[in-house]
């Protein structure tokens, strides 16, 4: 089973990063400006050997927000990503002979697509529903949160049209943030209802689309490509290295987390060797713990009714005041202010 890579793990192909940069450059931004702070050169974006992290892609998103005045840029970057952009993951999507299995595959193997969101699919009451939850520790009205959501909506629309036909259109797009003054997606979803301030970001379509015949589907080819995707995920786990193994151990019980010495012993390494392996990946034991605590705290505050003291205990803080201080450092807001900006589902 894959332990999901951390935000700093360089395990992903640069496809998504390149699309963001290409969209910025097409709008008149220089490649140097678009890539500022990303740590990747224009030539490396084109190399099949380059691997990038989620954190690097988030830096590029931040650059796009800062450098572009085009409110539709995020959506357009997402909509420019087609099945052919995603290698074996995209080829498997195209080869699936059953659209319901396609939805399941997209959800299960989404980690191969440099995920900036948690992506879930369900079918209910005659509707197909994609839910989209950005991985960032920011309130829903933060520009980065909005950028990621709108880009993902573009990706979903593009991929659904690739496999179901150009006439595909959702019934409704639900967004967790308030309507921005410069909102531009209405032009992209002319036949859809767009609603704001919902508990969850959702892309909703008529489930009848799932009953259609997959004209390009091939069960034999799909089975082969799915096995290749499994292999890619295994390779990704290896690339995650020591950091991935440490995350897995911490997540087993983060409220009573093991010490660095205990983790090293579990991995049959000396403390010094483990520190060195983590440093080679550009992380530390403390930064991994901080990252996991921040992710869990945001999830608890967004998705449950737990109060901040309970959240503090759940992620291993003995003193709620220390948790509140740490949460402000992670997100720039107090837990209570963050929750007010992020409705509970």
Question: How does DSSP assign 293-306, residue by residue?
Answer: HHHHHHHHHHH---
State whether 147 and 259 are in the same domain: no
Whether the predicted pLDDT of 241 surpasses 80: no
State whether 295 and 146 are in the same domain: no
Tokens of 166: 């150009």
3-state secondary structure of 4: coil
In a domain, 317, yes or no: yes
Type and span of the H or E element at 193: strand 193-195
Q: Tens digits of per-residue pLDDT, 123-151? A: 999 999 999 999 888 888 899 999 999 99
For residue 162, the enclosing domain spans 15-222
Final residue in a domain of this structure, among 222, 252, 267: 222
State whether 24 and 167 are in the same domain: yes
DSSP code of residue 6: P
Predicted confidence band of residue 300 (pLDDT cuts 50, 70, 90): confident
CB of 160 closer than 8 Å to CB of 182:
no
State whether 30 and 106 are in the same domain: yes
In a domain, 271, yes or no: yes
Question: How does DSSP assign 114-136, residue by residue?
Answer: --SEEEEEEEETTEEEEEEEESS
In a domain, 309, yes or no: yes
Q: Tens digits of per-residue pLDDT, 34-55? A: 999 999 999 999 888 898 989 9
Final residue in a domain of this structure, among 162, 192, 222: 222
State whether 77 and 183 are in the same domain: yes
State whether 42 and 110 are in the same domain: yes
In a domain, 108, yes or no: yes
Tokens of 288: 């991994």
State whether 80 and 113 are in the same domain: yes
Residue 119 pairs in a beta bridge with 132
In a domain, 170, yes or no: yes
Q: Give the CATH number for residue 311.
A: 1.10.10.60
**Strongest mean pLDDT among 50-54, 63-67, 113-117, 282-286:** 63-67
Q: Tens digits of per-residue pLDDT, 51-99? A: 898 999 999 999 999 999 999 999 999 999 999 888 888 888 888 888 9
In a domain, 53, yes or no: yes
Sign of CA dihedral 274, 276, 280, 284: positive
Predicted confidence band of residue 345 (pLDDT cuts 50, 70, 90): very low
Q: Name which of 230, 289, 255, 281 is nearest 105 in CA terms.
A: 230
Number of domains in the chain: 2
Find the Cα–Cα–Cα–Cα dihedral 60, 198, 173, 215, rounded to 10°: 90
Cα–Cα distance, 47 to 42 (Å, whole number): 9
In a domain, 7, yes or no: no
State whether 141 and 245 are in the same domain: no
* Backbone φ and ψ of 319, nearest 5°: -110, 115
Average pLDDT over residues 235-251: 76
State whether 192 and 290 are in the same domain: no
State whether 253 and 183 are in the same domain: no
State residue 139's pLDDT score: 84
Block residue for tokens 């697509």: 113
State whether 193 and 271 are in the same domain: no
In a domain, 204, yes or no: yes
3-state secondary structure of 187: helix
State whether 218 and 271 are in the same domain: no
Cα–Cα distance, 131 to 205 (Å, whole number): 12
Final residue in a domain of this structure, among 155, 187, 222: 222
Cα–Cα distance, 23 to 80 (Å, whole number): 9
Q: Give the CATH number for residue 118.
A: 3.90.1520.10
């Amino acid at each position: 089973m894959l332990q999901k890579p951390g935000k700093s793990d360089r395990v992903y192909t640069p496809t998504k990063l390149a699309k963001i940069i290409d969209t910025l450059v097409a709008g008149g931004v220089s490649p140097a400006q678009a890539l500022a702070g990303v740590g990747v050169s224009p030539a490396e974006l084109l190399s099949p050997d380059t691997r990038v992290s989620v954190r690097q892609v988030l830096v590029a998103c931040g650059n796009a927000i800062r450098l572009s005045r085009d409110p539709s840029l995020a959506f357009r970057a997402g909509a420019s990503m087609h099945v052919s952009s995603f290698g074996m993951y995209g080829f498997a999507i195209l080869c699936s002979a059953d659209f319901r299995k396609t939805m399941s595959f997209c959800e299960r193997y989404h980690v191969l697509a440099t995920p900036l969101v948690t992506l879930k699919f369900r079918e209910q009451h005659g509707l197909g529903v994609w839910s989209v939850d950005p991985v960032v520790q920011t309130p829903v009205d933060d520009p980065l949160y909005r950028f990621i959501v709108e880009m993902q909506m573009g990706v979903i629309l593009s991929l659904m049209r690739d496999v179901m036909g150009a006439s595909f259109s959702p019934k409704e797009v639900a967004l967790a943030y308030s309507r921005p003054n410069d909102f531009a997606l209405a032009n992209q979803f002319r036949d859809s209802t767009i609603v704001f301030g919902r508990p969850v970001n959702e892309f909703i379509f008529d489930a009848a689309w799932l009953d259609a015949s997959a004209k390009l589907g091939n069960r034999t080819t799909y089975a082969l490509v799915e096995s290749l995707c499994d292999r890619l995920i295994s390779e990704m786990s290896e690339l995650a290295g020591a950091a991935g193994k440490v995350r897995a151990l911490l997540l087993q019980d983060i409220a009573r987390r093991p010490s660095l010495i205990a983790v090293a012993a579990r991995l049959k390494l000396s403390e010094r060797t483990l520190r060195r392996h983590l440093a080679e990946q550009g992380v530390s034991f403390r930064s991994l713990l901080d990252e996991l605590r921040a992710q869990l705290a945001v999830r608890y505050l967004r998705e449950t009714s737990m109060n901040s003291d309970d959240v503090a205990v759940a992620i291993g803080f003995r003193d709620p005041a220390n948790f509140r201080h740490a949460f402000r450092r992670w997100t720039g807001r107090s837990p209570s202010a963050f929750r007010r900006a992020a409705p509970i589902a």
